[in-house]
């Protein structure tokens, strides 16, 4: 396996575990039963990657071709359900940082994979963004609420920024590993800073 | 046509008619007009199969390649609209049993088709589940409510169980027909029993 | 490039600009920030075409393969955001006519593209309809409301009628350009007339 594929695989699997746990937590917060916990673990963990793979023509998507993805999402969701008393006591800043890490992993893996499939640089940054936020959008659609990503302070923008840094770094000749680290760091730092300092995007206030 | 393809085709078409009628009824219950009735007939009848086909790389999906699928959904929806006075008087237990039959047909057809496309056994059971519940999820998303499958007593679990029985039976060397009957029966009986006896999955009560 | 491809391209790009502006306006009406405006511009402008391309097996979809589509949606959304004071003063009948034009463009382009991919005539009319209404459905799902197309007076029906006129005209040997003009005019006139005269589809009133 080429180095670049290993980076995408590791980032994808790590992001999958993080987002599966988050999906399980949202399901329990929403009062869903064990099946609902499983479904949301799957949807949040695999939704973004599946949408990316369908869009770039990488079918069947990884999550369907490779049993490790759904198995990992399944096990993480089950574990979070079993350990829910412990999960409940996790401090909010820790959860936020873990979520930002998952976002960074997916944004970088998504943009990198799109480039590997011959997608141009501009659209590869969009594919990275969709990979990062897609799972959360699917979760919010299933919970019948406006996707957090549409109303939240800088979230999709952080994924977009990370993907842009990765794509530009590759263009300037950086190695896949260096570009992935740089893009991931950009996304993570921007997201954490936005939450910490309450940064907002401009908005039209009175329509 | 091979025997296995005939089984998938017949199960798919029968499930399509059942789910199209259900879609039409939900649309009329929701106060939608004739167009809304048509759209929901299509979405509920074909949604699960389309999602499965996109995921396993069987594109264009059956519902797009083969005009009999949308025509059947269309005609069933129209017929339900015309005969709505009669449809309204159908007893709830009958509707539940018919729905369970549709679920069983789709779960079995979906898992079988995924296996035919070289998808591994674990993911084939997930594809069967998605085929069974996908249409209902699309319906609930279009009606802007939390998908029934996430909050209901054993429903997706019954589809999953039926798909597992089919996949395991095939592994143990049963013929496609015997495995389909066994899997379909497992799903149907589990679903009807769950409704009859009020079985529930475990849930975290206070988050 | 063949003449027929030019027609699809021009109709697709014109429809993209119209629907991106509409997406931006709905986002601002919903109180979303700049990112939300961008996301809805993309979703409304490109959603219908992406769904069509996935369904007919034209992957990667145009919107992913050709950077001009997302760039156009992006720029139109940004421009609408910047000029929001001006956008707000546009009279409702003008917006309705522009929307009907976008619907006509997408219905015609969608049906024509499906035919070019060897999809049969009946399903090509459905693909035209989905291309026309898909973006609006995605918008309403993201805003967590029942898709307008399900409850509105003749909207999807107008797209369907336009696609039918196009497909039938092609069957009767009309040139692609003549068929596109005829189909587009049918959709546009039907939609504008339905709003002007308050035409409604039949509905089951008391379920």
CA dihedral A177, A182, A186, A192 (to 10 degrees): 70
Cβ-Cβ contacts under 8 Å, A57 against chain C: 59-60, 64
**Among partner residues B29, B71, B142, which is closest to C147 by beta-carbon distance?**
B142
Question: Which residues make Cβ contacts (< 8 Å) with residue B124, sequence separation at least 6?
Answer: B111, B114, B115, B163, B167
Whether A121 and chain B come into contact, CB under 8 Å, resolves to no
Give the model's confidence band at C207: pLDDT under 50 very low, under 70 low, under 90 confident, else very high.
Answer: low
B61 interface with C at CB cutoff 8 Å: yes
CB contact under 8 A, A54 and B54: yes
Contact A145 C143 (CB under 8 A): no
**Chains interfacing with A (3 or more CB pairs < 8 Å):** B, C
Is residue A111 a contact partner of residue A180, using CB atoms and an 8 Å limit?
no
Confidence of residue A204 (pLDDT cuts 50, 70, 90): confident
Provide the mean pLDDT of chain B. 90
Confidence of residue C55 (pLDDT cuts 50, 70, 90): very high
Say whether A205 sits in a helix, a strand or coil: coil
DSSP letter (8 states) at residue B60: S
- Give the minimum alpha-carbon distance from A74 to chain C in angstroms, rounded to a whole number: 26
Given a cut of 80, whether residue C49 has pLDDT beyond it is yes
Task: Flag if A31 and B203 touch (Cβ within 8 Å).
Answer: yes
- Structure-derived torsion over alpha carbons of residues B66, B69, B71, B74, reported in degrees to the nearest 10: -150
Q: Binning pLDDT at 50, 70 and 90, where does residue C1 land?
A: low
CA-to-CA separations, A5 to A118, A176, B29, B163, C64, in angstroms, rounded: 14, 10, 50, 32, 22
At A78-117, the pLDDT tens digits run 999 999 888 888 888 888 898 999 999 999 999 999 999 9
DSSP letter assigned to residue C117 = T
Mean pLDDT of chain A: 90
The CB density around residue C3, as the number of other CB atoms within 10 Å, is 9
Question: What is the distance between the alpha carbons of residues A15 and A136, in angstroms, rounded to a whole number?
Answer: 12
Of residues A47 and B152, the one with the higher pLDDT is A47
CA distance A157 to B141: 26
Question: Residue A135 phi/psi, 5° resolution?
Answer: -60, -40
Does A145 contact B at CB distance below 8 Å?
Answer: no
Taking CB atoms and an 8 Å limit, are C34 and A202 in contact across chains? yes
Q: A131 and A48 in contact (C-beta within 8 Å)?
A: yes
DSSP designation for B90: S
User: Quick one: angle between helices A3-29 and A92-116, nearest 10?
Assistant: 140
Question: How far off is chain B from A62, nearest CA to CA, in Å?
Answer: 10
**Residue A180 in contact with partner chain B when CB distance is under 8 A:** no
Mean pLDDT of B89-110: 91
C-alpha A136/C-alpha A119 separation (Å) is: 24
* Mean pLDDT to the nearest integer, B165-190: 94
Give Cα separations from C110 to B195, C45, C132, C136 (angstroms): 43, 13, 7, 15
C132: which residues sit within 8 A by CB, 6+ positions away?
Answer: C48, C103, C104, C106, C107, C110, C156, C159, C162, C163, C187
The answer to whether residues C113 and C8 touch, using CB atoms and an 8 Å cutoff, is yes
Beta carbon pairs, B and C, within 8 Å: 73
As a whole-number percent, the residues of chain C with pLDDT over 90 amount to 64
CA distance C32 to chain A (A): 6
CB contact under 8 A, C150 and B142: yes
Residues of B in contact with A54 (CB under 8 A): 54
Residues in A closer than 8 angstroms to B155, CB to CB, are 35
Q: How far is B165 from chain A (nearest CA, A)?
A: 18
Alpha carbon distance A155, A129 (integer Å): 10
B54 touches chain A (CB under 8 A): yes
CB within 8 A of A10, min separation 6: which ones? Answer: none
Going by pLDDT thresholds of 50, 70 and 90, the confidence category of residue B206 is: low
- What are the CB-based long-range contacts (under 8 Å, 24+) for B193-198? B194/B153, B194/B154, B194/B155, B194/B157, B194/B158, B195/B96, B195/B100, B195/B153, B198/B153
Closest Cβ opposite residue B150 in set A32, A60, A71: A32
pLDDT of C206 higher than 80: no
Q: In B, which residues are within 8 Å of C56 by CB distance?
A: 60, 64
User: How far is B117 from chain C, CA to nearest CA, in Å?
Assistant: 16
A54 touches chain B (CB under 8 A): yes
Contact partners, residue A206, CB within 8 Å, separation at least 6:
none
Please give the pLDDT value at position A123: 94
Instruction: Report yes or no: B48 and B110 within 8 Å, Cβ to Cβ.
Output: yes
Q: Using a CB-CB distance cutoff of 8 angstroms, which residues of chain B are in contact with residue C156?
A: 35, 39
Q: Give the pLDDT confidence of C22-46 residue by residue, as tens digits.
A: 999 999 988 888 888 998 999 999 9
Q: Give chain B's count of helices (H) and strands (E).
A: 10, 0
Helices (H), chain A: 3-29, 34-56, 62-65, 68-82, 84-88, 92-116, 121-142, 148-151, 156-171, 176-197
| Separation of alpha carbons B199 and A185, rounded Å | 48
CB nearest to B60's CB, from C57, C149, C201 = C57
For residue B11, cis peptide bond before it (omega within 30 degrees of 0): no
Asked if B74 and B63 count as a contact pair (C-beta separation under 8 A), the reply is no
Report the C-alpha gap between C148 and C143 in whole angstroms. 11
Asked if the Cβ–Cβ distance from A145 to C141 is below 8 Å, we say: no
- Span A10-29, pLDDT tens digits: 888 888 999 999 999 999 98
Q: Does pLDDT of A205 surpass 90?
A: no
Q: How far C126 CA lies from chain B's nearest CA (Å)?
A: 9
Residue A103 · residue A112 · CB < 8 Å: no
Mapping DSSP to helix (H, G, I), strand (E, B) and coil, where does residue A207 land?
A: coil
C142:A145 CB<8 A: no
Interchain contact B163–A (C-beta under 8 A)? no
Q: Is B142 within 8 Å of C145 when comparing Cβ atoms?
A: no
- For residue B185, pLDDT over 90 is answered with yes
Residue C111 has pLDDT above 70, yes or no: yes
**What is the DSSP-derived secondary structure letter of residue B154?**
S
The alpha carbon of A51 is separated from its chain's Cα centroid by a whole number of angstroms, namely 12
ipTM of the assembly? Answer: 0.85
Nearest CA to CA, how far is B98 from chain A (Å)? 23
Measured CA to CA in angstroms, residue B47 lies from A26, A51, A71 at distances of 25, 16, 24
Q: What is the pLDDT of residue C70?
A: 94
Interface residue B151 vs chain C (CB under 8 A): no
Nearest CA in chain C to B37: C150
In degrees and rounded to multiples of 5, residue C203 shows phi and psi of -145, 145
Read off the pLDDT of residues A160-195 as tens digits, 9 standing for 90 and up. 999 999 999 999 999 989 999 999 999 999 999 999
B67 vs C122, C200, C203: nearest CB: C122
**Cα dihedral sign for C174, C177, C181, C187?**
positive
């Amino acid at each position: 396996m080429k180095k670049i594929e290993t980076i995408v695989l590791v980032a994808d699997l790590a992001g999958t575990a993080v987002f599966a746990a988050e999906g399980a937590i949202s399901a329990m917060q929403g009062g869903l039963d064990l099946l609902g916990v499983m479904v949301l673990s799957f949807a949040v963990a695999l939704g973004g990657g599946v949408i990316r793979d369908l869009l770039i023509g990488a079918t069947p998507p990884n999550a369907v071709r490779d049993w490790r993805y759904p198995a990992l999402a399944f096990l993480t969701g089950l574990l979070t359900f079993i350990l829910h008393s412990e999960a409940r006591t996790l401090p909010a800043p820790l959860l936020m940082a873990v979520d930002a890490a998952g976002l960074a992993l997916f944004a970088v893996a998504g943009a990198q994979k799109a480039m590997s499939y011959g997608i141009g640089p501009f659209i590869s940054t969009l594919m990275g963004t969709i990979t990062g936020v897609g799972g959360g959008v699917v979760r919010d659609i299933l919970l019948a609420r406006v996707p957090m990503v549409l109303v939240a302070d800088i979230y999709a923008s952080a994924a977009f920024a990370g993907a842009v840094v990765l794509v530009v770094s590759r263009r300037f000749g950086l190695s896949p590993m260096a570009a992935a680290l740089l893009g991931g760091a950009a996304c993570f730092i921007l997201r954490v800073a936005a939450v910490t300092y309450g940064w907002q995007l401009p908005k039209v206030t009175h329509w």
